[in-house]
Amino acid sequence: MIYTFNLQTPNEGFIDITNKVKEALEKNLIAEGICIIYCPHTTAGITINENADPDVTKDLIFALKDIFPDKKEFVHMEGNSAAHLKASMIGSSATVIISEGNLLLGTWQGIYFCEFDGPRSRKFFVKIIKG
Amino acid sequence: MIYTFNLQTPNEGFIDITNKVKEALEKNLIAEGICIIYCPHTTAGITINENADPDVTKDLIFALKDIFPDKKEFVHMEGNSAAHLKASMIGSSATVIISEGNLLLGTWQGIYFCEFDGPRSRKFFVKIIKG
Amino acid sequence: MIYTFNLQTPNEGFIDITNKVKEALEKNLIAEGICIIYCPHTTAGITINENADPDVTKDLIFALKDIFPDKKEFVHMEGNSAAHLKASMIGSSATVIISEGNLLLGTWQGIYFCEFDGPRSRKFFVKIIKG
Protein backbone atom coordinates (compact mmCIF):
# COMPACT_ATOMS: atom_id res chain seq x y z
CA MET A 1 0.00 0.00 0.00
CA ILE A 2 2.82 2.41 -0.88
CA TYR A 3 2.44 4.04 -4.28
CA THR A 4 5.33 5.80 -6.01
CA PHE A 5 4.77 8.54 -8.57
CA ASN A 6 7.42 10.15 -10.78
CA LEU A 7 7.29 13.68 -12.11
CA GLN A 8 9.41 16.12 -14.09
CA THR A 9 9.49 19.51 -12.43
CA PRO A 10 10.07 23.06 -13.70
CA ASN A 11 12.69 25.42 -12.23
CA GLU A 12 10.37 26.31 -9.39
CA GLY A 13 6.69 25.58 -9.06
CA PHE A 14 3.70 24.00 -7.33
CA ILE A 15 2.51 20.92 -9.24
CA ASP A 16 -1.05 19.78 -8.49
CA ILE A 17 -0.82 16.06 -7.61
CA THR A 18 -4.35 15.64 -6.22
CA ASN A 19 -5.43 13.34 -9.06
CA LYS A 20 -2.35 11.14 -8.58
CA VAL A 21 -3.20 10.74 -4.90
CA LYS A 22 -6.79 9.86 -5.89
CA GLU A 23 -5.43 7.24 -8.32
CA ALA A 24 -3.54 5.59 -5.47
CA LEU A 25 -6.69 5.62 -3.37
CA GLU A 26 -8.74 4.03 -6.15
CA LYS A 27 -6.40 1.03 -6.20
CA ASN A 28 -7.50 0.28 -2.64
CA LEU A 29 -10.80 -0.83 -1.21
CA ILE A 30 -10.24 1.18 1.93
CA ALA A 31 -13.22 3.24 3.08
CA GLU A 32 -11.78 4.88 6.18
CA GLY A 33 -8.26 5.86 7.17
CA ILE A 34 -5.55 8.38 6.42
CA CYS A 35 -3.25 9.01 3.52
CA ILE A 36 0.32 10.33 3.80
CA ILE A 37 1.82 12.10 0.79
CA TYR A 38 5.60 12.10 1.25
CA CYS A 39 8.41 13.89 -0.60
CA PRO A 40 11.81 12.09 -0.34
CA HIS A 41 13.79 15.14 -1.56
CA THR A 42 15.41 17.91 0.53
CA THR A 43 14.78 20.87 -1.79
CA ALA A 44 11.10 20.14 -2.46
CA GLY A 45 8.03 19.62 -0.28
CA ILE A 46 4.31 18.87 -0.10
CA THR A 47 1.57 21.35 0.77
CA ILE A 48 -2.19 21.71 0.58
CA ASN A 49 -3.61 24.96 -0.79
CA GLU A 50 -6.13 26.46 -3.21
CA ASN A 51 -6.68 24.67 -6.52
CA ALA A 52 -9.32 26.98 -8.03
CA ASP A 53 -7.29 30.04 -9.10
CA PRO A 54 -3.76 29.19 -10.36
CA ASP A 55 -2.71 32.74 -9.40
CA VAL A 56 -2.61 31.63 -5.75
CA THR A 57 0.33 29.27 -6.26
CA LYS A 58 2.04 31.88 -8.48
CA ASP A 59 1.80 34.33 -5.59
CA LEU A 60 3.10 31.70 -3.15
CA ILE A 61 6.18 31.01 -5.30
CA PHE A 62 6.83 34.74 -5.64
CA ALA A 63 6.43 35.37 -1.91
CA LEU A 64 8.64 32.42 -0.91
CA LYS A 65 11.40 33.67 -3.22
CA ASP A 66 11.03 37.17 -1.79
CA ILE A 67 10.95 36.16 1.89
CA PHE A 68 13.49 33.30 1.77
CA PRO A 69 16.11 34.55 -0.74
CA ASP A 70 19.63 33.27 -1.31
CA LYS A 71 21.94 34.92 1.26
CA LYS A 72 25.59 35.87 0.89
CA GLU A 73 26.23 34.37 4.36
CA PHE A 74 25.17 30.85 3.23
CA VAL A 75 28.10 28.43 3.30
CA HIS A 76 26.63 25.27 1.70
CA MET A 77 28.77 24.73 -1.43
CA GLU A 78 25.91 23.58 -3.64
CA GLY A 79 24.43 27.09 -3.42
CA ASN A 80 20.84 25.99 -2.90
CA SER A 81 20.34 26.62 0.82
CA ALA A 82 17.31 28.83 0.13
CA ALA A 83 15.64 25.80 -1.49
CA HIS A 84 16.50 23.64 1.55
CA LEU A 85 14.98 26.29 3.79
CA LYS A 86 11.76 26.48 1.79
CA ALA A 87 11.53 22.67 1.93
CA SER A 88 11.58 22.76 5.74
CA MET A 89 9.11 25.68 5.82
CA ILE A 90 6.60 23.86 3.58
CA GLY A 91 7.24 20.42 5.09
CA SER A 92 8.10 17.05 3.61
CA SER A 93 4.65 15.52 3.87
CA ALA A 94 0.92 16.13 4.16
CA THR A 95 -1.68 13.95 5.87
CA VAL A 96 -5.22 13.75 4.49
CA ILE A 97 -8.20 11.95 6.02
CA ILE A 98 -9.94 9.23 3.96
CA SER A 99 -13.72 9.08 4.39
CA GLU A 100 -16.09 6.75 2.51
CA GLY A 101 -13.29 5.90 0.11
CA ASN A 102 -12.52 9.53 -0.77
CA LEU A 103 -9.98 12.15 0.25
CA LEU A 104 -11.67 14.45 2.78
CA LEU A 105 -10.32 17.66 1.22
CA GLY A 106 -12.00 21.04 1.58
CA THR A 107 -13.86 22.46 -1.43
CA TRP A 108 -10.90 24.55 -2.60
CA GLN A 109 -8.06 22.32 -1.47
CA GLY A 110 -5.59 20.61 -3.77
CA ILE A 111 -2.41 18.72 -2.89
CA TYR A 112 0.81 20.18 -4.31
CA PHE A 113 4.34 18.95 -4.93
CA CYS A 114 6.49 22.07 -4.41
CA GLU A 115 9.71 22.26 -6.41
CA PHE A 116 12.28 24.77 -5.15
CA ASP A 117 15.41 23.62 -7.01
CA GLY A 118 14.45 22.20 -10.39
CA PRO A 119 14.14 21.29 -13.11
CA ARG A 120 14.60 17.71 -11.90
CA SER A 121 13.23 14.18 -12.06
CA ARG A 122 11.39 13.82 -8.78
CA LYS A 123 9.12 11.34 -7.07
CA PHE A 124 6.70 11.18 -4.19
CA PHE A 125 5.11 8.41 -2.18
CA VAL A 126 1.50 7.87 -1.17
CA LYS A 127 0.97 5.65 1.87
CA ILE A 128 -2.51 4.58 2.93
CA ILE A 129 -3.33 3.55 6.49
CA LYS A 130 -6.65 1.86 7.22
CA GLY A 131 -8.41 2.80 10.42
CA MET B 1 -14.27 8.04 13.92
CA ILE B 2 -14.18 11.40 12.19
CA TYR B 3 -15.44 14.29 14.31
CA THR B 4 -16.40 17.64 12.80
CA PHE B 5 -16.32 20.85 14.82
CA ASN B 6 -17.62 24.24 13.73
CA LEU B 7 -16.29 27.57 14.89
CA GLN B 8 -16.76 31.29 14.27
CA THR B 9 -13.44 33.03 13.82
CA PRO B 10 -12.24 36.60 14.32
CA ASN B 11 -10.44 38.63 11.64
CA GLU B 12 -7.20 36.94 12.45
CA GLY B 13 -6.35 34.79 15.43
CA PHE B 14 -5.25 31.54 17.05
CA ILE B 15 -8.22 29.73 18.61
CA ASP B 16 -7.38 27.10 21.24
CA ILE B 17 -9.19 23.89 20.18
CA THR B 18 -7.44 21.50 22.58
CA ASN B 19 -10.61 20.82 24.55
CA LYS B 20 -12.58 20.09 21.38
CA VAL B 21 -9.97 17.52 20.35
CA LYS B 22 -10.17 15.99 23.84
CA GLU B 23 -13.98 15.80 23.48
CA ALA B 24 -13.54 13.78 20.29
CA LEU B 25 -11.11 11.48 22.06
CA GLU B 26 -13.52 10.94 24.96
CA LYS B 27 -16.16 9.60 22.58
CA ASN B 28 -13.76 6.74 21.79
CA LEU B 29 -12.50 3.88 23.90
CA ILE B 30 -9.14 3.98 22.18
CA ALA B 31 -6.14 3.80 24.49
CA GLU B 32 -3.30 3.97 21.97
CA GLY B 33 -3.03 5.56 18.54
CA ILE B 34 -2.73 8.90 16.83
CA CYS B 35 -5.06 11.79 16.24
CA ILE B 36 -5.06 14.01 13.14
CA ILE B 37 -6.52 17.51 13.45
CA TYR B 38 -7.29 18.72 9.93
CA CYS B 39 -8.30 22.13 8.54
CA PRO B 40 -10.25 21.94 5.23
CA HIS B 41 -9.73 25.65 4.44
CA THR B 42 -6.98 27.29 2.38
CA THR B 43 -6.55 30.51 4.37
CA ALA B 44 -6.41 28.89 7.81
CA GLY B 45 -4.30 26.18 9.42
CA ILE B 46 -3.56 24.09 12.51
CA THR B 47 -0.55 24.46 14.80
CA ILE B 48 0.65 23.38 18.22
CA ASN B 49 2.17 26.02 20.51
CA GLU B 50 2.14 27.46 24.02
CA ASN B 51 -1.20 27.63 25.83
CA ALA B 52 -0.04 29.16 29.13
CA ASP B 53 0.56 32.82 28.22
CA PRO B 54 -1.91 34.21 25.63
CA ASP B 55 0.73 36.79 24.69
CA VAL B 56 2.60 34.08 22.76
CA THR B 57 -0.12 33.68 20.15
CA LYS B 58 -0.55 37.48 20.00
CA ASP B 59 3.15 37.73 19.15
CA LEU B 60 2.83 34.96 16.56
CA ILE B 61 -0.04 36.75 14.78
CA PHE B 62 1.90 40.02 14.83
CA ALA B 63 5.07 38.38 13.50
CA LEU B 64 3.26 36.47 10.74
CA LYS B 65 1.61 39.70 9.56
CA ASP B 66 4.96 41.46 9.64
CA ILE B 67 6.96 38.75 7.84
CA PHE B 68 4.30 37.61 5.34
CA PRO B 69 2.55 40.88 4.38
CA ASP B 70 0.32 41.57 1.41
CA LYS B 71 2.52 42.35 -1.63
CA LYS B 72 1.79 44.68 -4.53
CA GLU B 73 3.13 41.97 -6.88
CA PHE B 74 0.39 39.48 -5.86
CA VAL B 75 -1.97 38.73 -8.76
CA HIS B 76 -4.70 36.59 -7.09
CA MET B 77 -7.89 38.63 -7.57
CA GLU B 78 -9.38 37.82 -4.19
CA GLY B 79 -6.54 39.80 -2.56
CA ASN B 80 -5.83 37.32 0.22
CA SER B 81 -2.63 35.67 -1.01
CA ALA B 82 -0.82 36.53 2.23
CA ALA B 83 -3.42 34.44 4.08
CA HIS B 84 -2.90 31.53 1.64
CA LEU B 85 0.84 31.79 2.23
CA LYS B 86 0.48 31.74 6.02
CA ALA B 87 -1.79 28.68 5.70
CA SER B 88 0.96 26.77 3.89
CA MET B 89 3.60 27.99 6.35
CA ILE B 90 1.58 26.84 9.39
CA GLY B 91 0.27 23.68 7.70
CA SER B 92 -3.19 22.21 7.23
CA SER B 93 -2.97 19.59 9.96
CA ALA B 94 -1.28 18.47 13.16
CA THR B 95 -0.71 14.92 14.37
CA VAL B 96 -0.77 14.12 18.10
CA ILE B 97 0.05 10.79 19.77
CA ILE B 98 -2.65 9.15 21.94
CA SER B 99 -1.33 7.35 25.02
CA GLU B 100 -3.46 5.65 27.69
CA GLY B 101 -6.53 7.34 26.25
CA ASN B 102 -5.07 10.86 26.43
CA LEU B 103 -3.41 13.29 24.05
CA LEU B 104 0.35 13.06 24.62
CA LEU B 105 0.89 16.83 24.56
CA GLY B 106 3.80 18.58 26.26
CA THR B 107 3.12 20.51 29.48
CA TRP B 108 2.76 23.87 27.70
CA GLN B 109 1.30 22.66 24.41
CA GLY B 110 -2.15 23.52 23.10
CA ILE B 111 -3.68 22.85 19.68
CA TYR B 112 -4.69 25.95 17.70
CA PHE B 113 -6.95 26.69 14.75
CA CYS B 114 -5.21 29.62 13.00
CA GLU B 115 -7.46 32.06 11.14
CA PHE B 116 -5.72 34.29 8.60
CA ASP B 117 -8.69 35.58 6.60
CA GLY B 118 -11.70 35.93 8.87
CA PRO B 119 -14.14 36.53 10.27
CA ARG B 120 -15.70 33.34 8.87
CA SER B 121 -17.67 30.21 9.72
CA ARG B 122 -15.02 27.51 9.75
CA LYS B 123 -14.72 23.86 10.64
CA PHE B 124 -12.07 21.31 11.42
CA PHE B 125 -11.96 17.51 11.52
CA VAL B 126 -10.52 15.20 14.14
CA LYS B 127 -9.62 11.73 12.92
CA ILE B 128 -8.53 9.02 15.34
CA ILE B 129 -6.41 6.06 14.25
CA LYS B 130 -6.00 3.11 16.63
CA GLY B 131 -2.62 1.45 16.81
CA MET C 1 4.92 1.33 20.92
CA ILE C 2 5.82 4.86 22.04
CA TYR C 3 9.54 5.42 22.52
CA THR C 4 10.90 8.41 24.46
CA PHE C 5 14.37 9.81 23.83
CA ASN C 6 16.13 12.47 25.89
CA LEU C 7 18.69 14.90 24.58
CA GLN C 8 20.76 17.88 25.73
CA THR C 9 20.58 20.72 23.25
CA PRO C 10 22.89 23.63 22.40
CA ASN C 11 21.75 27.28 22.33
CA GLU C 12 20.26 26.82 18.90
CA GLY C 13 20.78 23.94 16.50
CA PHE C 14 19.53 21.05 14.39
CA ILE C 15 20.37 17.71 16.04
CA ASP C 16 20.30 14.66 13.76
CA ILE C 17 18.04 12.08 15.45
CA THR C 18 17.70 9.68 12.50
CA ASN C 19 19.61 6.90 14.28
CA LYS C 20 17.44 7.25 17.39
CA VAL C 21 14.31 6.84 15.27
CA LYS C 22 15.88 3.77 13.64
CA GLU C 23 16.62 2.35 17.12
CA ALA C 24 12.93 2.65 17.99
CA LEU C 25 12.02 0.91 14.76
CA GLU C 26 14.44 -1.95 15.43
CA LYS C 27 12.67 -2.72 18.69
CA ASN C 28 9.59 -3.57 16.62
CA LEU C 29 8.89 -6.36 14.17
CA ILE C 30 6.74 -4.08 12.06
CA ALA C 31 7.38 -4.28 8.34
CA GLU C 32 4.86 -1.73 7.05
CA GLY C 33 3.38 1.36 8.59
CA ILE C 34 4.18 4.93 9.55
CA CYS C 35 6.29 6.53 12.21
CA ILE C 36 5.51 9.84 13.93
CA ILE C 37 8.39 11.78 15.48
CA TYR C 38 6.88 14.24 17.95
CA CYS C 39 8.36 17.18 19.89
CA PRO C 40 6.45 18.02 23.13
CA HIS C 41 8.11 21.45 23.50
CA THR C 42 6.88 24.84 22.25
CA THR C 43 10.24 26.41 21.33
CA ALA C 44 11.61 23.43 19.41
CA GLY C 45 10.41 21.34 16.47
CA ILE C 46 11.05 18.41 14.14
CA THR C 47 12.04 18.66 10.48
CA ILE C 48 13.45 16.49 7.69
CA ASN C 49 16.31 17.90 5.60
CA GLU C 50 19.73 17.13 4.16
CA ASN C 51 22.10 15.02 6.25
CA ALA C 52 25.09 14.90 3.88
CA ASP C 53 26.61 18.40 4.23
CA PRO C 54 26.35 19.85 7.78
CA ASP C 55 26.58 23.32 6.22
CA VAL C 56 22.93 23.00 5.15
CA THR C 57 21.60 23.02 8.71
CA LYS C 58 24.06 25.82 9.61
CA ASP C 59 22.53 27.88 6.80
CA LEU C 60 19.01 27.00 7.96
CA ILE C 61 19.73 28.19 11.52
CA PHE C 62 21.27 31.41 10.21
CA ALA C 63 18.35 32.08 7.85
CA LEU C 64 15.70 31.36 10.49
CA LYS C 65 17.40 33.81 12.88
CA ASP C 66 17.60 36.40 10.13
CA ILE C 67 14.02 36.04 8.87
CA PHE C 68 12.28 35.46 12.23
CA PRO C 69 14.19 37.78 14.62
CA ASP C 70 13.17 38.99 18.04
CA LYS C 71 10.87 42.04 17.63
CA LYS C 72 10.51 45.04 19.90
CA GLU C 73 6.72 44.72 19.51
CA PHE C 74 6.66 41.25 21.13
CA VAL C 75 4.80 41.28 24.46
CA HIS C 76 5.42 37.74 25.81
CA MET C 77 7.32 38.32 29.08
CA GLU C 78 9.65 35.35 28.71
CA GLY C 79 11.23 37.11 25.71
CA ASN C 80 11.41 34.03 23.47
CA SER C 81 8.54 34.65 21.05
CA ALA C 82 10.87 34.31 18.06
CA ALA C 83 11.62 30.75 19.21
CA HIS C 84 7.88 30.02 19.54
CA LEU C 85 7.37 31.35 16.02
CA LYS C 86 10.14 29.19 14.57
CA ALA C 87 8.63 26.16 16.33
CA SER C 88 5.30 26.72 14.54
CA MET C 89 7.06 27.36 11.21
CA ILE C 90 9.07 24.12 11.43
CA GLY C 91 6.25 22.09 12.98
CA SER C 92 6.00 19.89 16.04
CA SER C 93 6.20 16.56 14.26
CA ALA C 94 7.26 14.68 11.15
CA THR C 95 5.69 11.57 9.65
CA VAL C 96 7.85 8.99 7.87
CA ILE C 97 6.68 5.88 5.98
CA ILE C 98 7.96 2.46 7.13
CA SER C 99 8.62 -0.01 4.31
CA GLU C 100 10.06 -3.52 4.72
CA GLY C 101 11.02 -2.68 8.29
CA ASN C 102 12.96 0.48 7.35
CA LEU C 103 12.32 4.21 7.30
CA LEU C 104 11.50 5.19 3.71
CA LEU C 105 13.70 8.30 3.72
CA GLY C 106 15.18 9.85 0.58
CA THR C 107 18.91 9.37 -0.09
CA TRP C 108 19.88 12.71 1.47
CA GLN C 109 17.19 12.96 4.14
CA GLY C 110 17.82 12.98 7.88
CA ILE C 111 15.40 13.67 10.73
CA TYR C 112 16.26 16.66 12.91
CA PHE C 113 15.30 17.90 16.36
CA CYS C 114 15.40 21.71 16.02
CA GLU C 115 16.30 23.67 19.14
CA PHE C 116 15.41 27.37 19.08
CA ASP C 117 15.69 28.27 22.78
CA GLY C 118 18.41 26.17 24.41
CA PRO C 119 20.50 24.95 25.95
CA ARG C 120 17.93 22.68 27.58
CA SER C 121 17.11 19.09 28.53
CA ARG C 122 14.64 18.05 25.89
CA LYS C 123 12.85 14.92 24.76
CA PHE C 124 10.99 13.59 21.76
CA PHE C 125 8.60 10.71 21.15
CA VAL C 126 8.57 8.12 18.40
CA LYS C 127 5.23 6.46 17.76
CA ILE C 128 4.90 3.55 15.35
CA ILE C 129 1.61 2.69 13.64
CA LYS C 130 1.32 -0.64 11.81
CA GLY C 131 -0.63 -0.69 8.58
**Amino acid at site A44:** A
- Distance CA(A47)–CA(A124), nearest Å, equals 12
Residues 6+ apart with CB under 8 A from C78: B53
Cβ contact A60:B81 at 8 Å: yes
Q: Which residues of B touch C75 (CB under 8 A)?
A: 55, 58-59
Q: What pLDDT, on a 0 to 100 scale, did the predictor assign at position B29?
A: 82
Q: What pLDDT, on a 0 to 100 scale, did the predictor assign at position B112?
A: 98
The 3-class secondary structure across chain A, one letter per residue, is CEEEEEEECCCCEEEECHHHHHHHHHCCCCCCEEEEEECCCCCEEEEEEECCCCHHHHHHHHHHHHHCCCCCCCCCCCCCHHHHHHHHHHCCEEEEEEECCEECCCCCEEEEEEECCCCCEEEEEEEEEEC
- C-alpha dihedral (C103, A75, A122, A119), degrees to nearest 10: 180
Q: Which residues of A touch B84 (CB under 8 A)?
A: 49-50, 56, 59-60
A26 band by pLDDT with thresholds 50, 70 and 90: very high
pLDDT tens by residue, A82-121 = 999 999 999 999 999 999 999 999 999 999 999 999 999 9
Cβ contact B57:B113 at 8 Å: no
Is B71–A90 a contact, with Cβ atoms under 8 angstroms apart?
no
Tell whether the torsion through CA atoms of C45, A73, A61 and C48 is positive or negative.
negative
Residue B110 pLDDT greater than 90, yes or no = yes
How distant is the alpha carbon of residue C114 from its chain centre?
5
Q: What pLDDT, on a 0 to 100 scale, did the predictor assign at position B104?
A: 98
How large is the ipTM? 0.97
Cβ contact A81:C80 at 8 Å: no
Interface residue of A14, A47, A56 to substitute, partner B, most B CBs within 10 Å: A56
pLDDT tens by residue, B15-69 = 999 999 999 999 988 999 999 999 999 999 999 999 999 999 999 999 999 999 9
Identify residues of C whose CB sits under 8 angstroms from chain B CBs: 1-2, 33, 36, 38-42, 67-68, 71, 73-78, 81-82, 84-85, 87-89, 91-93, 95, 125, 127, 129-131
Q: In 3-state terms, what secondary structure has residue C87?
A: helix
The strand pair at C93-99 and C102-103 is best described as antiparallel
Q: What pLDDT, on a 0 to 100 scale, did the predictor assign at position C29?
A: 82
**Which residue in the set A33, A97, A107 is minimally distant from B125, CB to CB?**
A97
Q: Which residues of A touch C106 (CB under 8 A)?
A: 39-42
Q: Which residues of A touch B45 (CB under 8 A)?
A: none
Once rounded to an integer, what is the mean pLDDT over residues A22-28?
94
Is B125–A104 a contact, with Cβ atoms under 8 angstroms apart?
yes
Beta-carbon neighbour count of residue A58 at 10 Å? 17
Q: Which residues of B touch C91 (CB under 8 A)?
A: 47, 91
Is B67–C71 a contact, with Cβ atoms under 8 angstroms apart?
no
Q: What is the least distance, in Å, from the CA of C22 to any CA of chain A?
A: 17
Q: What pLDDT, on a 0 to 100 scale, did the predictor assign at position C1?
A: 87
Q: What pLDDT, on a 0 to 100 scale, did the predictor assign at position A1?
A: 87
Burial class (CB in 10 A: 0-12, 13-18, 19+), C27: exposed
Is A76–C55 a contact, with Cβ atoms under 8 angstroms apart?
yes
Q: Would you give per-residue pLDDT tens digits along chain C (131 residues)?
A: 899 999 999 999 999 999 999 999 999 889 999 999 999 999 999 999 999 999 999 999 999 999 999 999 999 999 999 999 999 999 999 999 999 999 999 999 999 999 999 999 999 999 999 99
% chain B with pLDDT above 70:
100
Q: What is the least distance, in Å, from the CA of A95 to any CA of chain B?
A: 7
Q: What pLDDT, on a 0 to 100 scale, did the predictor assign at position A28?
A: 86
Neighbours of chain C (3+ CB pairs under 8 A): A, B
Chain A residue nearest residue B126, CA to CA: A97
Once rounded to an integer, what is the mean pLDDT over residues B1-8?
96
Residue B105 pLDDT greater than 90, yes or no = yes
What separation, in Å, do the N-terminal and C-terminal C-alpha atoms of chain B show?
A: 14
Is C36–B109 a contact, with Cβ atoms under 8 angstroms apart?
no
- Distance CA(B102)–CA(C40), nearest Å, equals 14
Q: Which residues of C touch A84 (CB under 8 A)?
A: 49-50, 56, 59-60
